[in-house]
């Protein structure tokens, strides 16, 4: 399946940081290549990783997987939909918690085999363990994980008995 990738080069030329710093009368244009890109769903058995990033802060919130249908639903609804490998079905982030991910921008990597979804996260966190981000632990040089963040919500209150899977 082909997905259209496009950018507004004129806006970037006029309003980018480089353009704003340049003397009056100079216009900097950056050549960009766009068009249709075929995403490589076949590399991983029909799935591609989707990195979820907070649009405002740049923090990585979570990692999920999408198949073509999940990507189509994400684009159609404007909210992130994954393919759950453990449940073998589509899964809309926030369907039980209400902590949805509103898509601001979708990007693809150079090999067209991964997606970066830049989102506005609705709710106190995205992690089913009660944290703002699923990346709440640091792995030290000995290979031991240490929690470095505070919980932002109670998973038991949000998910009930399935809170800590």
- DSSP-based three-state secondary structure for 157: helix
Q: How confident is the model at residue 12 (pLDDT cuts 50, 70, 90)?
A: very low
The count of structural domains within the chain is 2
Q: Are residues 9 and 32 in the same domain?
A: yes
Instruction: Provide mean pLDDT across the span 54-63.
Output: 98
Q: Are residues 6 and 82 in the same domain?
A: no
Return the pLDDT at 160.
84
Residue pair 163/156 in contact (Cβ under 8 Å)? The answer is yes
Question: Which runs of consecutive H residues, i.e. helices, occur in the chain?
Answer: 9-15, 17-21, 68-77, 155-159
Q: Are residues 25 and 93 in the same domain?
A: no
Q: Are residues 62 and 23 in the same domain?
A: no
Q: Are residues 58 and 7 in the same domain?
A: no
Q: Are residues 28 and 14 in the same domain?
A: yes
Q: How confident is the model at residue 34 (pLDDT cuts 50, 70, 90)?
A: low
**pLDDT score of 136 more than 90:** yes
Which pTM was predicted?
0.76
| Containing structural domain, residue 105 | 42-162
DSSP labels for 90-135? EEETTTTT---EEEEEEEE-TTSS-EEEEEEEPSS-S-TTS-SSS-
Q: How confident is the model at residue 4 (pLDDT cuts 50, 70, 90)?
A: very low
């Amino acid at each position: 399946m082909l997905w259209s990738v496009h950018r507004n080069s004129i806006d970037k030329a006029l309003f980018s940081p480089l353009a704003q710093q340049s003397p009056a009368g100079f216009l900097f244009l950056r050549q960009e290549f766009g068009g249709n890109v075929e995403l490589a769903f076949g590399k991983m058995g029909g799935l591609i990783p989707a990195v979820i990033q907070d649009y405002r802060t740049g923090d990585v919130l979570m990692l999920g997987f999408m198949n073509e249908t999940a990507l189509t639903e994400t684009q159609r609804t404007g909210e992130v939909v994954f393919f759950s490998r453990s449940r073998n079905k589509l899964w809309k982030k926030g369907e039980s918690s209400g902590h949805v991910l509103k898509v601001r921008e979708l990007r693809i990597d150079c090999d067209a085999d991964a997606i970066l979804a830049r989102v506005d996260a609705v709710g106190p966190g995205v992690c089913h363990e009660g944290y703002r981000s699923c990346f709440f632990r640091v792995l030290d040089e000995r290979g031991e994980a240490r929690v470095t963040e505070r919980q932002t919500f109670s998973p038991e209150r949000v998910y009930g008995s399935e809170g800590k899977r």
